[in-house]
Chain A
Amino acid sequence: MLLDSKIPEGPLAEKWDKHKFNVKLVNPANKRKYDVIVVGTGLAGSSAAASLAELGYNVKAFTYHDSPRRAHSIAAQGGINAAKNYQNDGDSVFRLFYDTIKGGDYRAREANVYRLAQVSVNIIDQCVAQGVPFAREYGGLLANRSFGGAQVSRTFYARGQTGQQLLLGAYSALSRQVAYGKVKLYTRSEMLDLVMVDGVARGIVTRNVLTGEIENHAAHAVVLATGGYGNVFYLSTNAKLCNVTAAWRAHKKGAYFANPCFTQIHPTCIPVSGDYQSKLTLMSESLRNDGRVWVPKTVEMAQRLRKGEIRVQDIQEDDRDYFLERKYPAFGNLVPRDVASRNAKMMCDEGRGVGSTGLAVYLDFAEIIQRTGAEAVSQKYGNLFAMYEKITGEDPYKLPMRIYPAVHYTMGGLWVDYNLQTTIPGLYATGECNFSDHGANRLGASALMQGLADGYFVIPYTIGDYLAQTAPKPVDTQHPAFAEAKAGVQARTEQLLAIKGTRTPDQFHKALGHIMWEYCGMARNAEGLRHAKTEIQRLRKEFWSDVRVVGTGEELNQTLEKAGRVADFLELGELMVDDALARNESCGGHFREEYQTPEGEALRDDENFAYVAAWEYQGDNQPEKLNKEELTFENVKLTQRSYK
């Protein structure tokens, strides 16, 4: 299939307005004749479901949580970007567009990113009207703060809980439509397959996780807002239940998967403390403004530290290596996320890591505490210091924090065109679930912006264009395709229960995570990736003969749910490796060791790799087919990043 991104003609700044005029409309009286399924109730899903219901469509919203408000958008800390220029510091739609394209290392689509910057301003207005309690100045106006990758203050925030407040805003809008009867809410329902009728998306198959009942649901269009796939690494900052299943099933039904190897590793997370570790917690990027990153100068000293023979206080100033300040004198501790993460890994690989596992570096606040006092530091970072102490039992006012990079966000996802439609007609993907706006690296405070842009201001227009060309006839689940999909889900459930092997889903998941992290994590090379591919294939085979699930499919069975998700991660993992292997360049979060500058920085190859890699499923255990969408840059000049 030829990939048509459907980017409208005309100058960049006029594309979206022209497109909104050109799309077909569904007349108000006809809207109630269309049913739309929205899967996922995070920022992208709740905002889409509420907005579509307000327009008059009949919406069915699905979440595997007990409430829409539990979706992982709730955990986003820092803020949301918008080109409001309230600070009079030179921000504009074009500047936000430019920063996002550059931050993404020139691997995102210009037209999508420009539209994102345009609607960013509407998002703030919408959230304020919903009662989102953003931070304000004494005069009563909205406050802003700075974030990485930008030279202006354009980040709106609600203390360290911006994601929570934005999600509760979208959840309130969704709840209102549930009360009006325009949204039918299905909680504790997990999507396990997509149903296609005559080549278009016509519904989904879900499993009620409380009763185990497998259900069919039909609609004229389906929107997937099911988040990212960072949990393929087992350990990540994602919530425990985050998974790729909905997107992966859609992929196997024909939706292309774009840039799967583009994952973001966040440098400042609380490190792993043992094999039992279940997830990793992010500490806000803002800490690097004042914290100094270091490790002991010698391996020998690091070893003694790890064994508890010496304490961190025993290491003299001369024996400390402030490696970021040493290697990047211009940016110091404030280098971008990918650079900071890679360097921390290098130190640990050399054997100079700290903590009993040796997989951590110090983030030290001693100097700023000495210079400004503990009180001033507490004003700035009090809540983060408290959270750190709760988790580690250590007081960061007295001892340096231990941090290590962790998987945080996935820029890749289902391929979508300008309308956010996947390669399956009638199937849309929004938020982190799609690949659209962040290229090879996402800037801070841009994930919330994209999720809400897609849900509030893009999908309500673009889905209408599709529905207007679909007959307003009632749809139901009578078509044999529904029975077939349901039987497939049923069979798979029974298969998982029938294996009765010796290893638990978590054991397989951890093994997969280990392979992904070692060979497809912060640094990759062809040899390691080829090894990973074989390892994943072996592990997948073992999974299907040795996984252990007890209980039945007709009850709340959390092991069964896990097993299904791990099975899909075991397939996705291989595709990520294929994608990383095919992209013979380094860009953003994708660092191929073979492609670096003499100074060890990422070396892009714009001539050969300025494209979106869109993978097409070819059947079980068949190599996927690579389709390329060439990226053209007419409004920005491609340059090499430097932070020396």
Chain B
Amino acid sequence: MAGSNPNAKPMNLTLNVWRQPNRNTEGRIVEYKVKDISPEMSFLEMLDVLNEDLLHAGEDPVAFDHDCREGICGSCDLFINGRSHGPEKGTTTCQLHMRKFSDGDTITIEPWRANAFPVNKDLSVDRSAFDRIIQAGGYISVNTGGVPDGNEIPVPKEIADRAFEAATCIACGACVAACKNASAMLFVSAKVSQLALLPQGHAERKTRVENMVAQMDKEGFGACTNIGSCAAECPVGISLENIAMLNREFIVAKATSNNLA
């Protein structure tokens, strides 16, 4: 049953899905058929249909991460036909709709592939490395209470807007999955830029970038070789300029560091 277009035809599809019981067991691609898929469905709703079918057949449904299904929580993370979040630009998997596919298509669905993101099960991966990078310095050290009035420090609109653009990163990991080096530079640079741009973040500017980059390396993410596939595949449009800013911040911090460690 279609919503906007009563004439939209349901589709039959072949899915090649990565199945892996847990991180210690080898995985493999398994083929499934799904029938009568409405073009109005979201990609995840199509997977819901597959999972209901599997459940009725007594088989283990495909595990995948998802939550808000409106493109903002960053939970969903599928590598679809060799691309992070699939074929539509600027779109998370949950906002990708089946009208972007055609009847008879074969769709390959894999988890993010990166050493720093081990597979939990099937399509679900462990992205806790991102949390640890933030814990290494992705904050401004203020306690609750005792802060100045919100209008005490004016922030030029252009600066506030640029900081906002960087701050919209949803930490989905598409950048890492898209990168041939599995680099997390775009993710790290978005947070570093946001806090380096705002006057509130200046006090910890140097230690922040040093610590976050050190943690990034420790987690096993690869190096950045300026290919730019991260920004091309980012569902929320985080710009490569952030990586340039991260590099600048990092060099200045290292050259003038008070951090003797």
Q: Interface residues, chain A, CB within 8 Å of chain B?
A: 47, 50-51, 54, 65-72, 74-75, 84, 86, 122, 124-131, 133-142, 158-159, 161, 164-165, 168, 171-173, 175-176, 178-179, 185, 187, 210, 239-241, 271-279, 281-282, 306-308, 355-357, 387, 390-394, 402, 456-457, 460, 504, 506-507, 548, 550-551, 555-556, 558-559
B105 to chain A: which residues have CB within 8 Å?
Answer: none
Q: Does B63 contact A (CB under 8 A)?
A: yes
Using a CB–CB cutoff of 8 Å, the interface residues on chain B facing chain A are: 1-7, 21-22, 38-42, 44-45, 48-49, 51-52, 55-56, 58-61, 63, 65-75, 91, 95, 97, 99, 120-121, 124, 126-128, 130-131, 134-136, 138-145, 147-151, 153-157, 160-161, 163-164, 167-168, 170-171, 194-195, 198, 200-201
Query: Which residues from chain A contact B56 at a C-beta distance below 8 Å?
Result: 504, 548
* A142 CB contact (under 8 Å) in B49, B150, B163: B150
Is A136 within 8 A of B168, CB to CB? no
Q: Is the CB of B150 within 8 A of A133?
A: no
Q: Closest CB of chain A to B62's CB: distance in Å? A: 9
Contacts of A66 in B (CB 8 A): 65, 75, 126-128
Contact call B154/A550, Cβ cutoff below 8 A: no
What is the bound-complex CA distance between A190 and B65, given in angstroms? 15
Q: Identify 14 new A-B residue pairs, CB closer than 8 A, beyond the known A274-B2, A356-B3.
A: A128-B200, A129-B140, A129-B148, A131-B194, A133-B160, A140-B154, A176-B141, A239-B69, A271-B3, A272-B3, A274-B40, A548-B55, A551-B60, A555-B121
* CA gap between A506 and B38 in the complex, in Å: 19
Q: Determine which of B69, B141, B143, B195 lies in contact with A240 in the assembled complex, contact meaning CB atoms within 8 Å.
A: B69
Chain B residue with minimal CB distance to A271? B3
Judging by beta carbons under 8 Å apart, are A240 and B1 in contact?
A: no
Q: Is the CB of B139 within 8 A of A70?
A: no
The reply to whether A279 and B69 form a contact with Cβ atoms under 8 Å apart is yes
* Bound Cα distance from A161 to B140, whole angstroms: 20
In the complex, which residue of chain A has the Cβ closest to the Cβ of B77?
Answer: A66
Given that A65-B67, A130-B139, A550-B55 are contacting pairs, would A136 and B131 also be in contact in the complex, using a CB cutoff of 8 Å?
no
Set of chain B residues within 8 Å of A65, measured between Cβ atoms: 67, 75
What is the CA–CA distance of A357 and B3 in the complex, to the nearest angstrom? 7
Neighbouring B residues of A141 by C-beta, 8 Å: 151, 154
Q: Is the CB of B150 within 8 A of A84?
A: yes
Q: Which of A128, A158, A172, A210 contacts B164 (CB 8 A)?
A: A158
By a CB distance below 8 angstroms, the chain A residues around B4 are 273, 355-356, 392-394, 402
Contact pick for A140, options B73, B126, B155, CB 8 Å: B155
Given A131-B201, A390-B97, A75:B55 Cβ within 8 A: no
10 tightest Cβ-Cβ pairs between the two chains A and B: A140-B154, A273-B3, A172-B139, A129-B147, A308-B6, A133-B164, A51-B144, A128-B150, A133-B163, A274-B1
Q: Of B66, B67, B135, which one neighbours A176 at CB under 8 angstroms?
A: B135
The CA-CA distance from A278 to B153 in the complex, in Å, is 44
